[in-house]
Each structure stands twice: as C-alpha cells, then as structure tokens.
Structure 1
Amino acid sequence: MAFLHISGLRKRYGALEILKGIDIELDKGGFLVLVGPSGCGKSTLLNTIAGLETITEGDIKVDERSIAELHPSKRDIAMVFQSYALYPNMTVAGNIAFGMEMRGVPADERKLAIDKVAKVLQIGHLLDRKPSQLSGGQRQRVAMGRALVRDPKLFLFDEPLSNLDAKLRVDMRTEIKRLHQTTGKTIVYVTHDQIEAMTLATKIAVMKEGIVQQFGTPAEIYNNPANMFVADFMGSPAMNLLSGRITREPNGLAVALERAGGEAIRLPVAAAMSSLAPYENREVVFGIRPEALTDPEGADRHAQFLCENDCLIDVVEPAGSDTFAVTKLGGREVVARLRADARIRAGEMARLAFNLDKAVFFDPQTQARIA
C-alpha cells in the first residue's frame, strides 16, 4: 500500500476549479516533487495535504488513514515554508524547541532533540543566535530543524529555496537531499524549478492548470514525456520540438525536417515505425534533447540509431564543460550540446549526430506523445 494516497482530489472556490481530479501515490520514504508553472495548483495541493485548505471532493490518506477531515494539528505533518517563519525574538534553539515546549515535552528531552537535529543540520554553533544574525541558508536550516525535531510522518516543503541566491540554492539542495537520505522520511516538495525537481525527487508530478500532466520517476519524465508540455517544461536547455513530416523512403519511414542552408534532412524512424505508420505524409512534432544532438565524436557509441547531417550553425555558446550550438531545423531554433573542445564556428556548416534512440514524436493537434 502507498504511504501517501491522494485520490480524486478536487478543490473549488465557487465556480473556479483549481484542482481537477488529482490521483497520486507515494511509497514510504519517497520524495515527491510537485512541479509546474505559477498558478498550476501545486501549492494549493500541498496546502490540502497540510490541512490549510479544505478539499471539495476526494480523499487524502497517510499510512492508510484518511486525514482529509482532520485538523492540521492532528495530521502528524511538518511544513517548511518559503518565508522560514522564524520567531525573531527567540534564539535558534528556542525556535527549534518551541513546538515541543507547547506540547509539554520535558526540558531534558527537548535538549537531546535539539542537539540531535543540530548535528544532522550542522547548526550546533548557531543555537544561541537570533534569526537576524543568520544568513538565508542558515535560516532555512533552522526552519528545517524545527520541522525535523517533531519526527512527523510526512514533511512538506513549500518552495523553500526560492528566496536564496543561485549558489546557495545549489548548496541547500544538496543539504535537503542529504537530509532525506539520512532520515528516510517521506517528503512532498513544491517548486517551479525543474532542476530541483530532477535532482531531489524519487517521483515527480508535473502539473498544469490543476491537472497532473505526468507522474513518474525523474528518468521517466525526462526521457519519456507524455506530452509536449512536459517535454518543453522539463530539461535545461529544453527539448527541441520541431515541425516535421513523416515520409516513405526506400528503407522505411523517415521524418523530414526543413534545414537552413540546404535541402530538408530525412532521419530514419525505424524504432518508432509502427506508431508512426498512421502519420505517413502527415505533420508531426519531432522532439530531441540537446544532448542527443551533438558532434559525431561526442555521440553515444552505444546508440542503435545514429544519423549524421550537416547543419548551418547560427550561434556558438561556450559553457565551460559543454559548448552549445544553435542551428535551424523544422522552422525552429535548435540547440545542440557539444563537447567543450568541439571545433565549431558560427556561420559555417558543421556535422551533427542525431541520436534517434532518444527521439520522441507528438501529435501537433492533441500535443500527446505518439512514439
């Protein structure tokens, strides 16, 4: 049985429906990330789990027990907010211990719990300081400590890193990952940052307009997107989505892509032929990740279907460990990820390798995955 089970969940404000039938299951010890653009309903979903929002229909179960009608204080859930929500007049130790003190936990037990959490989060040297004396990352650790010390069944994180600068966000992401690995706690985490989602999650729910577009592991979401929204939203740089036409060639079906500086290129689609057969002589959307479009020397030698073509390079962007090149195919700008030392120049033709094992196809009308 799933540890967290959300079934048929709907949330309405009058005639406005925010959540439109959410179904999610998460095993004990899992790390679920709710990801999507602003306004997609992810924070509302988190608040319904916490009990901060009532639900209109459906049910939420934790450890096989329905919590949908329980007061937030009875749900055995701890929440870490975006704003940290620390008491400014209390020390770090006081903030961490406040909830235990309110529940009447004896002072010696509180001290042991504070010391244990402080060791896990490496904030032992901060216990006597006030929140105003802490950096953003230190405040976030204290907020996590206040939640962790309760030893709840479920942790909820509401965009906890959005107020931090880029480097600190990366550092804190590592800390949260380490915390999950160390404690084995079940976590539900909200973010609009798909990099956070990919690096932290055991399961991801990609949301749009109150609907879960796809639910799966990070690898499933990244490599097998269910539709064009998921393909475009997950990944940095995003997946290249190009207009193409399925054509019949002597060796089987191919996808034809218009090319700047030359005739259309035709890429064989043998791996997806059965799914694409109904689309012969029809338009499709061809999707390929930047890392599956690279210089021939950097291509995956284990790929079954590699195809090389010359492309006119518009822009070259060195990025340290990689070089990104921009060309035009199918009427769209296309990003290729090359080796750092790839010899390539803007304004010149360059040989690029297409790893067609990684190619996906979508219906341009429904935007659903077809192969």
Structure 2
Amino acid sequence: MSFLQIDKVCKSFGTIKVLRDISLDVEEGGFLVLVGPSGCGKSTLLNTIAGLEKLTTGEIRIDGNVIDDLPPSERNIAMVFQSYALYPNMNVGQNIAFGLEMRGMPKDERDVKVRDVAKTLQIEHLLDRKPGQLSGGQRQRVAMGRALVRNPQLFLFDEPLSNLDAKLRVDMRTEIKRMHQTLGTTIVYVTHDQIEAMTLGTRIAVLKDGIVQQYGTPAEIYNDPSNLFVADFMGSPAMNLIPAVVRGNAVEMARTGENPLVLDFKQLPGDVAAYEGRNIIVGIRPEAITDADNRALVRDGQQAVTASCLIDVVEPAGADIFAITSLGGKEVVTRLHQDWSGQANQHAELVFNLEKVVFFDPESGIRLR
C-alpha cells in the first residue's frame, strides 16, 4: 500500500478552481517532486498536505490514516519553506532545537538530537553562530536541520533553493539527495525548476492549471511525455517540437530554400499513420540529433537517418556543442560532439535517432502512439 495517498483532491478559492481532481500515490521512502509553472497549484497542493489549507473535496492519507481533519501540529509532518524563517536572536543550535523544546523534550535529549542532525548536515561547527553570520546555503541547512530533528513521517519542501545562487543550488541539491538516500524519509518537494525535478525525484508530477499532466519516474517523464506541454516543459534544452506532414511511413519537415527533410521509418505508430497527408508535431530531444563522429549515441540496430542540414548558430558548451538548424519553420537544437569542427552558415551531416522520436496531435497536443 502507498504511504502517501492523494485521492481526488480539489481545492477552490471562491469560484476559482486551483486544484482539479488530483490523485497521486507515493511509496514509503519515495521522493515526489511537484513541478510546473508559477500558478499551477503545486504549492497549494503542498499546503493541503501540511494542513495549512483545507480541501474542498477529496482525501489525503498517510500510512493508511486519513489526515484531512487533523491540525498541522498533529500530522507528524515537517515543512521547509522558501524563506528560511530562522529566529535571528537564537544561535543555530537553538533554532534547530526550538520545536523539540516546545514539545517538552528534556535538554539532554535535545542536545543529542541536535548534534546528530548537525553532523548529518555538516554544520556542527556552526551551532553557536547566529543566522545573520551564515551564508544562504548554511541557513538552508539549518532550516532543514530544524525539520530533520523532529524525525517526522513526511517532509515537505516548498521551493527551498529558489533564494540561492546557481552554484549553491547545485550544491544543496546534492545535500538534499544525500540526506534522502541516508535517511530514507518520504519527501514531497515543490519546484518550478525542471532540473531540480529530474535530479531529485523518484517520481515527478507535472502540473498545469491545477491538473496533473503526467505522473511517473524522471525517465518516463523525459523520454515518454504524454503531451506537448510536458515535452516542452521538461528538459534543458527543451525537446524540439517540429511541424511535419505524414507521407506513408515517413514524415516531411519543410526547409527554407531546400527540399524537405524526410525521416523515413520502418513503420509509423498506428495513431500516426492515420494522419496520412495531414500535419503533425514531431518531438525529438537535442541529444537524439548529433554529428556523424558522435554516432555512438545511436546504438546498433536502432533506426537512424543522416541528412545534410544548414547550421544557423553554434553554441560551445564545454562537454558538448549545441548547433541550431531550422526545420518546419522552427529553430531545432542539436547536441554535437565537443570536437565537432563545423561552422555557422555551413551545411553539416546530422544523424537523427528515429528510435527517440515521438509524435503529437497539433490541435489537442496529445501524444500519438
């Protein structure tokens, strides 16, 4: 049985529906990431789990027990907010221990728990400092320590890294992942950053307008998107979404001043074949379009097409080179070998891995299979 069960949850503020019939199951020790653009309802859903917002309809269960009518203090949940919310007049140790003190835990026990948590988060040397003497990353560790020390059933994180600079975000992602692997605690984590979602989650729920667009593992979300929104939102760079026309077992993509690029498949999926002579959207990740020297990315036995394409822009990125061409009237990003020597405004031989191509209806945005 799932440890956290969100069953047909709806939440309205007056006539405005913020959450629409959301159902998610999380296994014990799982790491669920709620991801989506601003205003999609992810923080509202987190607040309903915490008890900070009451459900309009639906039910939430933890370990089989319905928690809808329990106040936040009785849900055995710890929450880490975007703002660190530390007490500036208390030192780090006092901030971490404050919740335990309020619950009447003896000082000797509190001190042991604080030291254990500080060791886990590598902040033992900071216990006597005030929050004003800490960096942003250190303050976030203290906020996490305050949640950890309670040993709750469930951790909730509400965009905890959004106030940090780029390098600190990467460092703290690693710390949170290490903490989860060490403690095995169930976590629900809210972010608008799809890189955080992909790197942290064991399961991801992609939300838009209060509706779950797709729920699955990071690999499923990335490689098998259920609609155009998920395909475009998840991934950096995003999936290339190219208008095309179905011709038999091939798709044609227009090119300015050149013949169309034809991707010829052994067999198109049944839903796609039904679009004969009609428009369709072809989805392909940048890493599935590469140069001939990097062809090893296309494994033996996989379908592939090599075509000469005009390169518009070249963007070196260290380990890779991103080159941009145009297909179907859209900019198409390709991911090439770091030693690729081509130039902008020249043609280059590109290899398209047909095994990685997905298809969408241009009107509804639904995935075609």
Fold shared by both chains (TM-score > 0.5): yes
The amino acid of 1:339's aligned partner reads: H
* Residue among 345, 352, 356 paired with 2:343: 345
Query: 1:260 offset after TM fit, Å?
Result: 3.5
Aligned equivalents of 1:41 and 1:260: distance in 2?
41
Pairing of 1:254-273 with structure 2 (within 5 A): 254-273=250-269
Please name the residue that 1:368 is paired with: 366
The letter for the 1-side match of 2:246 is I
Q: Which amino acid aligns with 2:367?
A: R
The corresponding residue for 2:151 is 151
AA at the equivalent of 2:31: F
2:2 is matched with 2
Decide which of 283, 286, 291 is 1:295's aligned counterpart: 291
How far, CA to CA, are the matches of 1:2 and 1:140 in structure 2? Answer: 30
> Which residue type is aligned with residue 69 of structure 1?
D
Matched residues in 2 for 1:168 and 1:13: separation? Answer: 36
The answer as to 2:228 corresponding to 1:228 is yes
Q: Give the TM-score taking structure 1 as reference length.
A: 0.98
Residues 1:278 and 2:274 are matched in the alignment:
yes
Q: What SS does structure 2 have at the residue aligned with 1:347?
A: coil
Task: Tell whether the 8 Å contact from 1:312 to 1:349 is kept in structure 2 after alignment.
Answer: yes
Unaligned runs of 5+ in 2: none
Q: Cα deviations across residues 273-295 of structure 1 (Å, max 9, x unaligned)?
A: 32322111111000000000010
Alignment partner of 2:88: what SS? coil
Distance 1:271 1:46, change over 3 A: farther
**Which whole-Å CA distance do the structure 2 matches of 1:259 and 1:297 have between them?**
24
**CA contact 1:271–1:357 (8 Å) conserved in 2:** no
- 1:185-196 aligned at under 5 Å gives the runs 185-196=185-196
- Identity of paired residues, percent? 63
**What's the CA shift for 1:271?**
4.9
Q: Mapping of 1:4-83 within 5 angstroms? A: 4-83=4-83
Q: Distance in 1 between matches of 2:155 and 2:264?
A: 47
Structure 1 residues not aligned, in runs of 5+: none
One-letter code aligned to 2:332: V
SS of 1:53 mapped into structure 2: coil
Counterpart Cα distance in 2 of 1:271 and 1:77: 51
Q: State the partner residue of 1:333.
A: 331
Residues 250 and 268 of structure 2 are in contact (CA less than 8 Å); yes or no, is this contact kept in structure 1?
A: no
Across the aligned residues of Structure 1 and Structure 2, the Cα RMSD in angstroms comes to 0.8
| Cα distance in 2, alignment partners of residues 332 and 140 from structure 1 | 41
* 2:344 aligned counterpart, secondary structure: coil
Q: How many residues align?
A: 367
Separation of aligned partners in 1, 2:119 and 2:267: 52
Shift of 1:272: 3.3
- Distance in 1 (CA, whole Å) between partners of 2:80 and 2:188 is 10
**How far did 1:247 drift?**
0.2
TM-superposed CA distance for 1:268, in Å, is 1.6
Aligned to 1:311: 309
Contact 2:298–2:353 (CA<8 Å) still a contact in 1?
A: no
Equivalent-residue separation in structure 2 for 1:107 and 1:273 (angstroms) = 66
Q: Post-superposition, which runs of at least 4 consecutive aligned residues in structure 1 deviate over 2 A?
A: 269-275
